[in-house]
Structure 1
Amino acid sequence: MDCSIYCYALLLVYRYTCFKTAKHRLYIMINLSRTFSRINPQIISLVMISLLAHVTLSGGRVASSLYVLQEGHSELVAGLTYGLYSLMPALLSLYIGQWVDRVGPRLIMRLSLITIVLGLLLPALHLSLVSILMCAALSGLGFGGYILSAHVSVSQMKVAQDADRTALFGWLQMGTAVSAVLGPSFVGLLIDNGNFSIAYACLALIVGGGLFWSFRASILEGVRTAKDSKRSNIVQDVVKDPALRRIYLLSMAVYLAWDCFGFMIPVLGSERGYSASAIGLVLSFFAAGTFIVRALLPWLSRKSTEWRTLCISCALAAVVFFLLPFADSLFLLTVLSLAFGLSAGVGHPNVLNLLLRTVSSNKSGEASGLRIMTGNLAGLLGTATCGAVTAAAGVLPVFMGIAAIMSVSSWQANRGQQKGAKNTEN
């Protein structure tokens, strides 16, 4: 599949609005029809299911945190509730990935979506702190299983050239990007105009729509591994292979920067005296940046290798984190947030394509599971460290430390590019 057709379609729409003659418009309409007829329905289905499934994180986290705080529980309990969404994938993703390799992504995807629906129904039917905590654990576990299955399915899709698969991973994550923008606002409206039970029931209905879609979508199964297959596990491969170690370390750096940015921007904004809506505006520019760059990935992936893209991306992230504590206006903060969104948006798709191209096809789920496990652990430990350092010494050491980490990551990505070029020459 030629993934550049997506950007090409957008350009055709623009050209259509510029041409005045009927002849030119007819030419553009014919090209548009040809373009959209070539879109792979498999990736479109997964994008839509991802959008519907991710609502459990983008909306569920907001609803759970608000309920815990409104019921008079401490911020610590609210933080633990929020963290449960990431804790389960951090602990179990590797084993879920091994399961995906054995039975295929289709079954695991549907079971994961069922798990999310069941988790959301608990507080919808009986609202309490216990049901909220169980919902957080089941929702995080279910979405972790879903996204692992989706990654394996995308890795099996046929592409015209290998760079196009990076674009496919970018498009897959556009569904979650849209959900991240719409989910919190949608849940807030449901809570303000109804109650928490109605909000959870609506979220369960939305994810149920994704479950229904999964039975109609074409989900590629890939190569299965026998349960008693004698092979090295992915952890052993990482220990032996320097290239794999570099990929996983870069993945952890991307996770760390992403989570720490989302954690530190509200802290920095509160320190500067900005309102909640102003801080929300800054984070919205970050989300917009990730969406824009992922829409352009079909073109970008053909212009640059994964290593080079990661090198530039990490370098830009380092510059952003270095400048953030010195941004003395809301305008500068939004510009830097947009820049980091453009940087972070290409990180995960390029790392995923590098990883799944490096490992054997019968370890795709296990490799992706280890990536999610290590990434979530890096994010959890990173945000906890950011909070502790900020309380002790302020925000400046935090931003300087993350800038240093991303600078080293850019250097490592450049080394990966150089080693890849040498291997190609040989």
Structure 2
Amino acid sequence: MTLSASSDGALAEPFPYFKLWVLVLCQIGMHSCLTGMRMAAPLQLLQRDMDVWAVGVVMAMFATAPVFLALTAGRMADRHGYHRPTRIAASLSFAGAVIASSTSHYLWLCLAAALCGGGSSFGLIALQRTAARLASNAGERMKVFGWIAIAPALASLIGPLGTGLLIDHYGFRIAFAALAILPLGTLLLSQWVPREQMAAPVSREQRRPAWDLLCEPSFRRLLFINWLVSASWDVHSFALPILGSARGMSASVIGAILAAYAVTSTLVRLLLIPLLANRLSQRSIILSALLLTAAVYAIYPWLGPAWAMALGTATLGVALGTIQPALMTQLHHVTPSARHGEGLAVRSVFINCSGACMPLLFGVLGAALGAASLFWLMSGVLLAGSWQARRLGAAGG
């Protein structure tokens, strides 16, 4: 990314790469804690011979707290910038991991999942709003969203892989304790992020409800597609530990399979997104990614060996790694500038409502029909829902 011209013809300031990469590192700490918890919690329950529906409840708790905290996080980011919501986010994640390390009681594990999920979501909204303001046009913005999406991609490598190794060698308590260190690293790194010059706050009388953003058809369409993407990944993260455990795979092998997603999605965001940003429309990228994901899920249950499952997961990394920056760029385009935090928060509420409800549904269906049926069902939903991607406009939907 090079210098860009301002409206009066003068060259703008160089792109702040340092600020961008510090933001990425901060979110890696938060999200690694979440992904490690999301893998370790269900495995701990399965080793205790808990029912699949009970695993679904814990997985749903990761998305419960974000539903209630997202609007607060978005408004706080719009009013105060990056640092205040990040401090709250790191504190929530740290508390969740400490609780999981201290006790294996089922109800406490549910609370730990809720705290870690809420913390990661709280920090992610602040990150996305801050990073989007670094770009000066749609092409730059898609690259920025591609780069900040490296944070959850790398976290999907660091969290599950590291947690799986720790579980196999030292047990669950040590693994959860190690995850608690990661949010503390985020707090330290956040001191390197420059503080933003904030605009004058909007008075309570002038403030509009966040939900009026739903009056815009383009915004609603993007929320639906975001739900498809989120639900498709939730299916994978829920069903893979069950499939792997049923096939006798160790925690480290399951973590390595999940890590394959992180490797390919990171490479796509580093190498492919900068090439596609100004060459293909966001609509084409989104539609192609949805269809590729549907195809992978149609064949995933037949991928028996660990290497075949890793290959399928890696292909999902290619598809979902390209779609997220395009979706976020379009969402930024259709949301008023002063309400970017709120727009991201409404998106987070919808995604996390899905994340809270869908694992419960997955647990019921998985217990009744088997984990393989979840992949086939999601494949059909993606195919049926991809028609909405055809209706997206070239710029904003």
TM-score, normalized by length of structure 1? 0.78
Asked whether the 8 Å contact 1:285–1:337 carries over to 2, the reply is: yes
Aligned to 1:283: 258
User: What letter corresponds to residue 323 of structure 1 in structure 2?
Assistant: I
Question: Structure 1 residue 338: deviation in Å?
Answer: 2.4
Partner Cα distance (2:302, 2:187) in 1: 46
Partner Cα distance (1:291, 1:226) in 2: 38
Partner Cα distance (2:334, 2:173) in 1: 45
Write out per-residue CA displacement over residues 206-229 of structure 1, whole angstroms, 9 at most, x where no aligned residue. Answer: 321210111122254665642515
Write out per-residue CA displacement over residues 156-205 of structure 1, whole angstroms, 9 at most, x where no aligned residue. Answer: 1134x312212212211212222221223323444555565544443333
Which of 29, 34, 43 pairs up with 1:52? Answer: 29
Map residues 36-51 of structure 1 onto 2, 5 A cutoff: 40-51=17-28
Write out per-residue CA displacement over residues 15-45 of structure 1, whole angstroms, 9 at most, x where no aligned residue. Answer: xxxxxxxxxxxxxxxxxxxxxx977111110
1:120 aligns with 2:122: no
Q: Which shows bigger deviation, 251-260 or 213-222?
A: 213-222
Partner Cα distance (1:38, 1:143) in 2: 26
Asked whether the 8 Å contact 2:43–2:241 carries over to 1, the reply is: no
| SS of structure 1 residue aligned to 2:291 | helix
Q: Sort the Cα spacing of 1:175 and 1:396 in 2 relative to 1 into closer, same or farther, 3 A.
A: closer
Aligned to 1:141: 118
Map residues 10-409 of structure 1 onto 2, 5 A cutoff: 40-65=17-42, 77-122=54-99, 126-127=102-103, 129=105, 132-159=109-136, 161-191=137-167, 194=170, 198-218=174-194, 220=196, 223=199, 225-238=201-214, 240-268=215-243, 273=247, 275-276=249-250, 280=255, 282-296=257-271, 297-325=273-301, 327=303, 333-394=309-370, 398-409=374-385
Aligned-residue sequence identity (percent) comes to: 24
Partner Cα distance (2:27, 2:316) in 1: 23
Partner Cα distance (1:46, 1:121) in 2: 24
Partner Cα distance (1:173, 1:242) in 2: 25
Q: Sort the Cα spacing of 1:41 and 1:405 in 2 relative to 1 into closer, same or farther, 3 A.
A: same
Question: Structure 1 residue 147: deviation in Å?
Answer: 0.6
Q: Sort the Cα spacing of 1:148 and 1:223 in 2 relative to 1 into closer, same or farther, 3 A.
A: farther
User: What letter corresponds to residue 256 of structure 1 in structure 2?
Assistant: A
Question: Structure 1 residue 110: deviation in Å?
Answer: 2.1
Partner Cα distance (2:372, 2:185) in 1: 45
Partner Cα distance (2:51, 2:197) in 1: 45
Higher relative contact order (CA 8 A, sep 6+): 2
Asked whether the 8 Å contact 2:30–2:119 carries over to 1, the reply is: no
Asked whether the 8 Å contact 2:100–2:173 carries over to 1, the reply is: yes
| SS of structure 2 residue aligned to 1:293 | helix
Unaligned 5+ segments in structure 2 are 4-13
Partner Cα distance (2:104, 2:366) in 1: 33
User: What letter corresponds to residue 245 of structure 1 in structure 2?
Assistant: R
Partner Cα distance (2:47, 2:293) in 1: 36
Q: Which shows bigger deviation, 378-387 or 165-174?
A: 378-387
Asked whether the 8 Å contact 1:112–1:141 carries over to 2, the reply is: yes
Question: Structure 1 residue 261: deviation in Å?
Answer: 2.2
Partner Cα distance (1:185, 1:328) in 2: 20
Write out per-residue CA displacement over residues 64-102 of structure 1, whole angstroms, 9 at most, x where no aligned residue. Answer: 445556678666555434432221113321232123223
Question: Structure 1 residue 368: deviation in Å?
Answer: 0.8
Partner Cα distance (1:236, 1:291) in 2: 35
Q: Give the paired residue count.
A: 384
Asked whether the 8 Å contact 1:97–1:367 carries over to 2, the reply is: yes
Q: Sort the Cα spacing of 1:344 and 1:190 in 2 relative to 1 into closer, same or farther, 3 A.
A: same
Q: Which shows bigger deviation, 247-256 or 385-394?
A: 385-394
Partner Cα distance (2:233, 2:168) in 1: 30
Asked whether the 8 Å contact 2:298–2:379 carries over to 1, the reply is: yes
Asked whether the 8 Å contact 1:246–1:412 carries over to 2, the reply is: yes
Q: Sort the Cα spacing of 1:357 and 1:369 in 2 relative to 1 into closer, same or farther, 3 A.
A: same
Partner Cα distance (1:70, 1:326) in 2: 25
User: What letter corresponds to residue 331 of structure 2 in structure 1?
Assistant: L
Question: Structure 1 residue 304: deviation in Å?
Answer: 1.4
Asked whether the 8 Å contact 1:318–1:407 carries over to 2, the reply is: yes
TM-score, normalized by length of structure 2? 0.83
Q: Sort the Cα spacing of 1:257 and 1:198 in 2 relative to 1 into closer, same or farther, 3 A.
A: closer
Q: Sort the Cα spacing of 1:251 and 1:282 in 2 relative to 1 into closer, same or farther, 3 A.
A: same
Asked whether the 8 Å contact 2:160–2:255 carries over to 1, the reply is: no
Partner Cα distance (2:182, 2:284) in 1: 39
User: What letter corresponds to residue 346 of structure 1 in structure 2?
Assistant: T
Partner Cα distance (2:306, 2:95) in 1: 42
Q: Which shows bigger deviation, 244-253 or 188-197?
A: 188-197
Q: Which structure would you say has the larger Rg? A: 1
